[in-house]
Amino acid sequence: MDTANHNDLQPTFRALADPTRREILLLLSQQDMSIGEVCEHFEVTRAAVKKHLTILEEGSLITVRTHGRERINHLAPSGLKQVSDWMSYFDQFWTERLGRLQQAIERNNVAGKSKKNTKGS
Amino acid sequence: MDTANHNDLQPTFRALADPTRREILLLLSQQDMSIGEVCEHFEVTRAAVKKHLTILEEGSLITVRTHGRERINHLAPSGLKQVSDWMSYFDQFWTERLGRLQQAIERNNVAGKSKKNTKGS
DNA sequence: TTGACATAATACCTTTTGGTACTGTAATTT
DNA sequence: AAATTACAGTACCAAAAGGTATTATGTCAA
């Protein structure tokens, strides 16, 4: 079982919570990169990028492979899959609710009335 | 298009980055609740819960409806859907990679070997 | 060795989180 | 109507975590 209890998701959600790190994921989705190459796409120092990469690695969102004296960062599917699995629990939910909402809107349009609820004191 | 550019995702990812807030989402997936009811499931004060609910609302993960002197919190599908959409970009990715892994495993099973896949990546 | 790249430790600042206390508002009671 | 009770929201404060830059140290190749 590679999937995680929702407790194990914390490092992954934490990693995804930063926009720079999400950008890095998009970068790595197109091409594996060394830390130096990743740096070229951002205005921050290498040290900052390195910390982001470490956090991404802790979230199982990337893996790093040593290649000579360079360390190549790859996108790792497992972290993303774990989050996807966690969210799939809610799929039933928003599928159902959005469907109902849309039905209600369409019914309102047909009926033509959306007046606010009256309030007496 | 109601969905957001990935910039708008920040409040949602931020909201999901806290384990208490994820717990609240699971709670609300089973039943709409007032803030007081949510509090009963946690050890923190109502003020703290209220802040979590505000952040969840900013992430379009819940909606709040006033009902007399109570405010009922509901699960909101839209934020979850936005994250789901963002992640679907990577689907091709880990579907491809995990798919390859799974094929390898199945091939091993058919061949009569259940031994772990070679370290691969 | 030097030069180039990677990692580690530290410091500074911002954001986040949770607490207490106070305020606001709606329903209830007298 | 006025006072009381119940539920919710806001303001301020302290503690903790997060992000970045700087500086120093380590590693590898020429």
pLDDT in tens, A29-64: 999 999 999 999 999 999 999 999 999 999 999 999
Return the pLDDT at A71.
87
Of A68 and A62, more confident: A62
Given CB atoms, is B72 within the 8 Å cutoff of chain A?
A: no
Q: How far is CA B20 from CA A5, A7, A57, B115, in A?
A: 15, 11, 23, 39
Structural domain count of chain B: 1
Please indicate, yes or no, if residue B74 is contained in any of the structural domains: yes
Lowest mean pLDDT among A88-92, B81-85, B101-105: B101-105
Residue B25 in any domain: the answer is yes
Q: Which CATH number is A91's domain given?
A: 1.10.10.10
* Strands, E assignment, B1-121: 33-34, 62-67, 70-75
**Residue B45, H or E segment:** none
In a domain, B75, yes or no: yes
**Structural tokens at position B113:** 């070997």
Range of the domain at A83: 1-109
Average pLDDT of the segment spanning B21-37: 96
- Is residue A85 a part of any domain in this protein? yes
For residue A58, what are its two tokens?
């802790």
Of A33, A25, A31, nearest to A77 by C-alpha is: A25
Q: Among A6, A26, A84, select the one facing B22 at the smallest CB separation.
A: A6
Show Cβ contacts of residue B91 under 8 Å, excluding neighbours closer than 6 positions. Answer: A84
Nearest C-alpha of chain B: how many angstroms from A47? 23
